Chains A and B, each alone.
Chain A
Amino acid sequence: MDKEPLLQVTDLSLTVPYLGIAYPAVEHISFSMAKGDSFGLIGESGCGKSLTALAIAGLLPEQILRSSGKIIFDGVDLTQLTAQQMQAYHGDDISMVFQDSATSLNPLLTVGYQLREVIVLYCPTADTPAKQKQLAEDSLREVGLIDPAETLNKYPHQLSGGQRQRIMLAMAMLPKPRLLLADEPTTALDLTTQQQILALIRNLQIKHHLTLLMISHNMRVVQSLCQRTLVMYAGKIVEQGPTESILQQPQHPYSKALLGAMPTFDRRGKPLETVEGMVPPLYARNLACTFSPRCPRKTAECDLAVAEKKQGDRMVLCNHPE
């Protein structure tokens, strides 16, 4: 962390106000990414991973409010900007790949049309239709689509999930972003395609010196791509540290449970471990440690207070870390 941070999130809290009560969706999360870093944000559904990404991208739904915190991108606090000023940071600074490839392209417009929209806005050097078409084809070739010229004329429903996700990546990369937010880009894909897309993201990251924030509920996805991992549970970051070190020695019981739920070769034939119970809903997050109802190491003090423990470059939010 000796380099100047590109993205710095400090004390970010997001709430859902409803009938006068503000329900916490994301609580006091902080992290800092330097240029070229790749971070993994993992956790179950409903832990606030996607909301964190949407907050950084400035795409929060209107019913969700930011109650505290700063999002500093390249020295500028994005939360202080108006929508118009924010627009300047979109696309060419911060870009995003979404989860569901079935809905991330407009079903009524051809791939070529949608690529051209991005090119017109972000690639002023391509000022003739021929150049734009060339650039669109090149971008598709870069993400490994074999027949770019033909793909340009196709509609999203004529393509497979993997192809659509590649096109999404091509679109997200066209503005040459510095920060790429990838919101579970491989979740809707089968395992083989998943691996291909992950390899593609890794290549793009190296080639374009991307800073990558990868959101996933799959430890393995994060393992192959990210230097550092943030484990989120019920709106809080419960563990943070270098990916390898977390994988080898998870300190938080939730990280440990997540790793245990990952199928591995040496546990073949044994039933898959699961984390009992569910993420508490927004209205039931009043315990000091929200994981305590599902925690094997729970003691009486856990419901009253929980302490953050830092050790080297690791952080864990637990009274009884391993």
Chain B
Amino acid sequence: MSKHSPTWWKNSNFLVGGSIVCLLLLLMLTSFFWTPYSPTAPSAAAKLQAPSFIHLLGTDHLGRDVFSRIMVASQTAFLVGISSVGAGCLLGVSLGLTCGYYGGWFDLVTVRLLDAFKAIPSLLLALMMIAVFGSGMKVTVMAIALLAIPLYARMARSSAIQLKNLEYMQWTKLIGISRRRILFVHLLPNIRSPLLITASLGFASSVLTEAGLSYLGLGVQPPDPSWGKMLSEAQDYLFNAPWLALSAGLAITLLVLGFNLLGDGLRDISDYRRKD
């Protein structure tokens, strides 16, 4: 432990996961100002074309370029992921730190509520919220972000409980450092590694939830592009044009795989017991 050795460049999980995520991030950013073809303009002349050098991933039943659509739809995936990680980190972590550090009845009630939340599958809860508030991009993103909060809150709470009885935390209490400083200067930085791991895994699972909802036709609505939506459209052409389903499926798989590998890699790097 005495030497702070950066071993991230030796960790294959981290490297592969990081590269996949970076590649997809780059595609997403590019799609804001350039795509090979228009993702929305149909072309009667180029329906259901197989992948070629002209259309990298082929075209769909309306003749739209699949690669361009995958690129634009990645914006939705990243929006969902980032907002769920953001909500989790801001609201979930604050809630969890407060509960874990102070304990008492507030903690008891909150933890029971979070447990109850966890008892119901998150897809089901998202469905319920969409049933109440209607489908669409905004509701989907908000529902998924809200559902991510318990995950972060529980992680932050257990870390806070673990740390609060350590001597340096008792010291801060003894000399009367303000509560906000204790939580955010002393406690929060010390939970950064479980937080990073939770965030990378949470990102992947949120993307998956959104794809699932959109596949069922409940999430993002046309004309907003979404990988889940593309997957359900591709279903009708599974035998004539398998590249439609394959490319949407592959995009989802890559993003989820990338973030999961990244999370595993981060866990290995931050866990000193695994170091040689």
Contact = CB atoms under 8 A, between A and B. Distances in A.
Interface residues of A, number: 29
B168 A91 contact: no
A96 B165 CA distance: 15
B190 A171 contact: no
Nearest to A102: B167
A276 B94 CA distance: 49
A304 interface: no
A99 B167 contact: yes
Contacts of B190: 106-108
B174 A157 contact: no
Contacts, number: 58
Contact of B103 (A62, A158, A171): A62
B176 interface: yes
Given A61-B165, A103-B167, A108-B189, A96 B103 contact: no
A91 B167 CA distance: 15
A30 B224 CA distance: 74
A175 to B, nearest CB: 7
B167 A59 contact: no
Given A107-B190, A108-B190, A157-B1, A98 B167 contact: yes
A17 to B, nearest CB: 14
A109 B104 CA distance: 29
Residue from the set B166, B168, B171 with the largest chain A CB neighbour count within 10 Å: B171
Contacts of B165: 61
A122 B177 CA distance: 11
Interface string B96-127: 00000001100000000000000000000000
B5 interface: no
B52 to A, nearest CB: 54
Contact of A95 (B1, B173, B174): B174
Interface of A: 57-59, 61-62, 87, 90-91, 94-96, 98-100, 103-109, 117-118, 121-122, 157-158, 171, 175
5 contacts: A91-B176, A94-B174, A107-B168, A109-B189, A121-B176
Given A103-B166, A109-B189, 17 more contacts: A57-B174, A90-B176, A91-B175, A96-B171, A96-B174, A99-B167, A100-B167, A105-B168, A106-B168, A106-B186, A106-B190, A108-B190, A109-B185, A117-B181, A121-B177, A171-B171, A175-B175
